[in-house]
Amino acid sequence: MRYGALVAALLLGACAKPKEEQMVSRGALEGAPAASASSGGSERPQPRGAATVRTDKGTYSAPAVRFSADFLGEPPVTLMSVALSAQSEDGGTWRFRMAVDEKFVKSKHATARIIPQAALGPGLAVVDSPQPDGSSMAMDEGTLELTVTGNQVAGEVRTKDGRVRATFEGPLTVECTVPPAWLSGANAPAAPSAPVPSSPDEGTVRVPDEALATPQCRSMADAFR
């Protein structure tokens, strides 16, 4: 597969279907439970917890907002996103996924245009709210803005005319996957072995860096202390 097509396919896959491997983080960087990684239209809601979403339809919660960094091989490419999937007491879900880039790690701030599709690039986000009866309400336009202070996230979703549709806040969890060689090579000589998930495309296999043993993953976690 050509390199450009590979990156496009990975972006689409990351936002359209759940990852089978489990990514473990420094839970909220201060002890919050880690969540399994899933994304986009098929993302399952997390259990209720410390992150809170307030909308005109009700209140939702989840253990944390998730920042995910997916490192590819050579040449180095990093796919990054921020996501939240929160649940209400009646079983409803409110969720978003925003694609970000390296600038976000330094600025701790991002604004994205909301689109109805799940194929995301930096500056784009998907927001929807699946209901217990199987229906789903998705925003097809508007903006999503968030800021990270320490390991806490605060943000809001606005319609195109500027009305606030939802606000959210809570702890941030960092998740990271890398090529298997990064864990077994010189970058992480003491890292524990990890199972290698199968992949139909040569060069796209990644494994969770559960111990944040690689410098790349460790630097991501350190950025959000």
pLDDT at 182: 87
Cis peptide before 75 (omega within 30 of 0): yes
Give yes or no for a contact between 40 and 16, defined as CB atoms under 8 angstroms apart.
Answer: yes
Dig out the tokens for 177 from the structure: 């996957």
- What span, in angstroms and rounded, lies between the C-alpha atoms of 179 and 100? 20
Query: How buried is 33 (Cβ within 10 angstroms: 0-12 exposed, 13-18 middle, 19+ buried)?
Result: middle
Q: Is 27 helix (H, G, I), strand (E, B) or coil?
A: helix
Dig out the tokens for 42 from the structure: 């098929």
| More reliable by pLDDT, 110 or 30 | 110
> Per 3-state DSSP, what percentage of the chain is helix, strand, and coil (rounded to 5)?
20, 35, 45
Answer yes or no: is pLDDT of 27 > 80.
Answer: no
Query: How buried is 6 (Cβ within 10 angstroms: 0-12 exposed, 13-18 middle, 19+ buried)?
Result: middle
Q: Which are the contacts of 111, defined by CB distance < 8 A and separation ≥ 6? A: 123, 143, 144, 145
Query: How buried is 62 (Cβ within 10 angstroms: 0-12 exposed, 13-18 middle, 19+ buried)?
Result: buried
Dig out the tokens for 35 from the structure: 């969540």
- Please give the radius of gyration of the chain, using alpha carbons only, rounded to the nearest integer: 17
Give the range among 19-23, 47-51, 77-81, 154-158 with minimum mean pLDDT. Answer: 19-23
Query: Where residue 205 falls among pLDDT bands split at 50, 70, 90?
Result: confident
Each residue's pLDDT tens digit, 120-167:
899 999 999 998 888 888 999 999 999 999 999 999 999 999 999 999
Query: How buried is 206 (Cβ within 10 angstroms: 0-12 exposed, 13-18 middle, 19+ buried)?
Result: buried
